[in-house]
Amino acid sequence: MQDLKQRIFQFAVSVGKLILELPYNVVNKEYFGQSVRSSSSIGANYRSAKRAKSGADFINKLKIVEEETDESVYFLELLREFNLSLKKNYVVN
């Protein structure tokens, strides 16, 4: 579990570093905020799940982690569409 905790943390750090490298414009501004919030929320909710009061509580909190992960991927895909440098370097199907 420690490995997953570290990987989730590193994902949020990587998203933040990526955003710092992209140009600031009206479209990126909106996707930047959403990407930072959802990517960091994964780790916060995962930590919360580890403190769950019951099995059902744990599963519910992991569902939130899953939703935030999917949201993060979505906003990264949008950033890729609006930033040609990402579109050339990162191919995600």
Using H for helix, E for strand and C for coil, what is the string for 4-60? HHHHHHHHHHHHHHHHHHCCCCHHHHHHHHHHHHHHHHHHHHHHHHHCCCCHHHHHH
Q: Report how far residue 55's alpha carbon sits from residue 21's, in angstroms, rounded to the nearest whole number.
A: 41
Q: Are 63 and 3 in contact (CB under 8 A)?
A: no
Catalogue all structural domains in the chain, each as residue range(s) with its CATH number: 2-89 (1.20.1440.60)
Residue by residue, pLDDT tens for the chain (93 residues) are: 569 999 999 999 999 999 999 999 999 999 999 999 999 999 999 999 999 999 999 999 999 999 999 999 999 999 999 998 877 665 554
User: What length is written for the chain?
Assistant: 93
Global pTM reads 0.85
